[in-house]
């Protein structure tokens, strides 16, 4: 499921399972920072740095059996859990084709504070993923917060890293 450059979309109570191998969706795969075999790609299929999504909520979904990554989700403003745009999501058994990331969280491009200062994510459940349960990696803000994450039987639990230099907090 690819969600890209949209406004006022809610994806709630779905099961996305056994994602088939595919080379691309419309030819963009060469530019993709994520993968064309994602279960639910939210505002990140081509690149989370160029896609704009306004008021997108991804809630109470299950993704199982993706090849590379289960779901990508935009974060929310730090210290503002009432602004959370994702909760109740479960990702498991992402380990085919050499991949295995459960959920990748990225800043919401429509919120400058998230891009420059801080973004947060919470409440994602991941298990039996071949690489990492929940991940953020890339050029992001100075501060990243993961709260109330559950990771069981993943190769690695959480990964937060940045390509920025200087004083960073995770």
Q: Is 166 left (phi over 0), alpha (psi -120 to 50) or beta?
A: left
| Phi, psi of 112, rounded to the nearest 5 degrees | -60, -35
- What mean pLDDT do residues 162-168 have? 56
User: pLDDT grade, residue 137 (50/70/90)?
Assistant: confident
Cα separation of 69 and 96, whole Å? 10
DSSP state at residue 39: S
Cα separation of 64 and 73, whole Å? 16
Cα separation of 147 and 2, whole Å? 26
Give domain limits for the chain. Answer: 2-162
> Model pTM?
0.85
pLDDT for 30 beyond 50: no
Closest Cα to residue 114, out of 134, 143, 138?
143
Q: What percentage of the chain reaches a pLDDT higher than 70?
A: 81
Note the pLDDT tens digit of each residue in 70-122: 999 999 999 998 889 999 999 999 986 667 899 999 888 889 999 889 999 99
Check residues 142 and 156 and name the one with the higher pLDDT.
156
Structural contact between residues 10 and 28, judged by C-beta atoms closer than 8 angstroms? no
Note the pLDDT tens digit of each residue in 34-58: 556 789 999 887 666 677 889 999 9
Handedness of CA 140, 150, 77, 94 (dihedral sign): positive
Q: Sort 169 into a burial class: Cβ within 10 Å, 0-12 / 13-18 / 19+.
A: exposed
Average pLDDT, the chain: 84
Distance of CA 76 to the CA centre of its chain: 12
């Amino acid at each position: 499921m690819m969600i890209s450059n949209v406004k006022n979309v809610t994806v709630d109570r779905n099961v996305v399972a056994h994602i088939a191998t595919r080379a691309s969706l419309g030819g963009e795969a060469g530019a993709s920072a994520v993968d064309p075999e994602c279960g639910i790609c939210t505002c990140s299929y081509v690149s989370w740095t160029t896609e704009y999504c306004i008021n997108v909520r991804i809630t109470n979904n299950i993704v199982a059996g993706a090849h590379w990554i289960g779901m990508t989700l935009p974060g929310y403003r730090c210290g503002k859990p009432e602004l959370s745009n994702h909760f109740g999501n479960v990702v498991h058994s992402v380990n085919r084709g050499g991949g295995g990331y459960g959920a990748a969280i990225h800043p919401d491009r429509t919120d400058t504070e998230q891009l420059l200062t801080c973004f947060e994510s919470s409440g994602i459940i991941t298990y039996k993923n071949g690489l990492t349960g929940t991940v953020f990696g890339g050029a992001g803000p100075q501060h990243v917060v993961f709260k109330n994450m559950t990771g069981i039987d993943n190769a690695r639990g959480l990964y937060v890293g940045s390509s920025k230099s200087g004083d960073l907090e995770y």
